[in-house]
Structure 1
Amino acid sequence: MVQSSFKVLFAEDNESSAELLIHFLERFNFEVDHVMDGMNAELKLRKSKYDFILLDNKMPILSGVRLASKIPDMNKNTPIIFLTASNEKEDVISAFQSKQLAGYILKPFEQEKVLEKITSVLKISENMLIDKKKFPFSIEKVDNKTYGIGVKLIGCPYMKNSEKIAQEIAFILKDLPVRHTFFMEIGKEFYYYKKAQEFLSSILKRLASKYEIKEEDILILSS
């Protein structure tokens, strides 16, 4: 079963501070699209539906206030949170003319406060919020009577690299000869990872090349 994720558009021109917040939010079941100016934010909002919008006020080309006043129709009902400095009070008041503005957070802010605000606005209950760090990733060798030798992927591969995972699997199966099929048992927590299917496909591609077989020759089991 794939856990529901929440799609967030984050517009912030400070790349280093944005990266910190993105990593924090994606530790949970949020998928974050980041842009560095208001114009690109508007383009994103025309193409994709989001559950939540985080807007820095002072952005190049198109400010947060101006963007909040012209949200494209596709996201007309998507709640907005402003990230703003304490001396931008008038801008915040102007932004509140947009009925979508759910509040603001003053800079500098604590990441936990942003998470708290998002979960409150979206009414995300405790059992809907998944902390990927609570499901540490590991790989075990498995000998199955029906399918033979394989591996079991346990937990969520949060912050992991598909190439290194493929290398670890190959090391665990080092006694397996080339041109030999095997199976991979995947736990449900694996799919908490952002774009888990693409990530799994990348692992399969590397392993298929290693063992000189087709990707479909690697049997995928669910646990």
Structure 2
Amino acid sequence: MAHSTFKVLFAEDNESSAELLIHFLERFNFEVDHVVDGMAAELKLRKERYDFIILDNLMPVLSGIRLANKIPDLNKNTPVVLLTASNEKEDVVNAAHSKQLVGYILKPFDPDKLLQKIVSVLRIPESLIIDKKKFPFSLERTQRDSYGPGVKLIGCPFQKNAEKIAQEISFILKELPNPRKFFIEVGEEFYYMKRSNEMLASLITRLASKYEIKEEDILILSP
């Protein structure tokens, strides 16, 4: 039930700039692999298939332009965008001959414009672009006659981890009545999170250990 994601390779040697863009793209449906030089990017492209490639032009070892013109076969149809400074623009236009190059973006750039470029090139329907920040995460205690006590997960747990959520659930439920079992009601927005099913499995394991019960005693209710 996890929402569709799109895999991006991002090659940028400025780690602080890279972190900002990674954080931005991961707000939406993008899983980002980041490397800091062209050679590392080439190795990634030999081993894994990506939906989109973002290359900084000036990188150590292997420049973005050179890499764009020698993308490994596994990703020979993957669209490429180059990030470049304004004084490099002419060099980029003259030197980049890759048919996969779908454009260049001048630095500093607006992340929203890059997002629009990716969405346009990949022809991603608007319905599949989910801004996780529009679905803030919260928990509330609930009760059902047929199941007993439980907790409802509301929104998307963007930038949350299983350990923190398990602690919050434990605080809300506190002591369990006998028999010691409960349910977790999971809203649709929870599944907008990358690897949401893995997070849910980790939650169940942690909570079963906390309450010294079997994992089967924690019922998951999904939409």
Alignment TM class, shorter chain as reference = over 0.9
Name the CA distance, whole Å, in 1 between partners of 2:177 and 2:151: 15
Q: 1:215 to 1:44 in 2, by over 3 A?
A: farther
RMSD: 1.7
CA deviation map 1:16-50 (0-9, x unaligned): 11000010111111111111111111111112111
What is the match of residue 136 of structure 2? Answer: 136
Q: 1:208 to 1:125 in 2, by over 3 A?
A: same
3-state DSSP of counterpart to 1:4: coil
Q: 1:94 to 1:180 in 2, by over 3 A?
A: farther
TM-score with structure 1 length normalisation?
A: 0.94
CA deviation map 1:186-221 (0-9, x unaligned): 112111111112222222222122111233432211
What is the match of residue 75 of structure 1? Answer: 75
CA contact (8 A) 2:38 2:64 kept: yes
Moved more, 77-86 or 159-168: 159-168
What is the match of residue 106 of structure 2? Answer: 106
> Size of the alignment, in residue pairs?
223
CA contact (8 A) 1:179 1:213 kept: no
Q: 1:178 to 1:65 in 2, by over 3 A?
A: farther
Alignment of 1:73-222 (within 5 A): 73-176=73-176, 180-222=180-222
Name the CA distance, whole Å, in 2 between partners of 1:132 and 1:53: 22
Amino acid in structure 2 at the alignment position of 1:64:
G
Q: 1:142 to 1:66 in 2, by over 3 A?
A: same
- Runs of 4 or more, structure 1, over 6 Å off, are none
CA contact (8 A) 1:65 1:94 kept: no
What is the match of residue 4 of structure 2? Answer: 4
Name the CA distance, whole Å, in 2 between partners of 1:95 and 1:150: 61
3-state DSSP of counterpart to 1:55: strand
Moved more, 1-10 or 26-35: 1-10
Name the CA distance, whole Å, in 2 between partners of 1:110 and 1:42: 26
CA contact (8 A) 2:69 2:96 kept: no
3-state DSSP of counterpart to 2:87: coil
Name the CA distance, whole Å, in 2 between partners of 1:178 and 1:199: 27
Report the CA distance between 1:180 and its aligned residue: 2.0
Unaligned runs of 5+ in 1: none
Percent identity between the aligned chains? Answer: 72
TM-score with structure 2 length normalisation?
A: 0.94
CA contact (8 A) 1:153 1:184 kept: yes
What is the match of residue 33 of structure 1? Answer: 33
3-state DSSP of counterpart to 2:86: coil
Amino acid in structure 2 at the alignment position of 1:6:
F
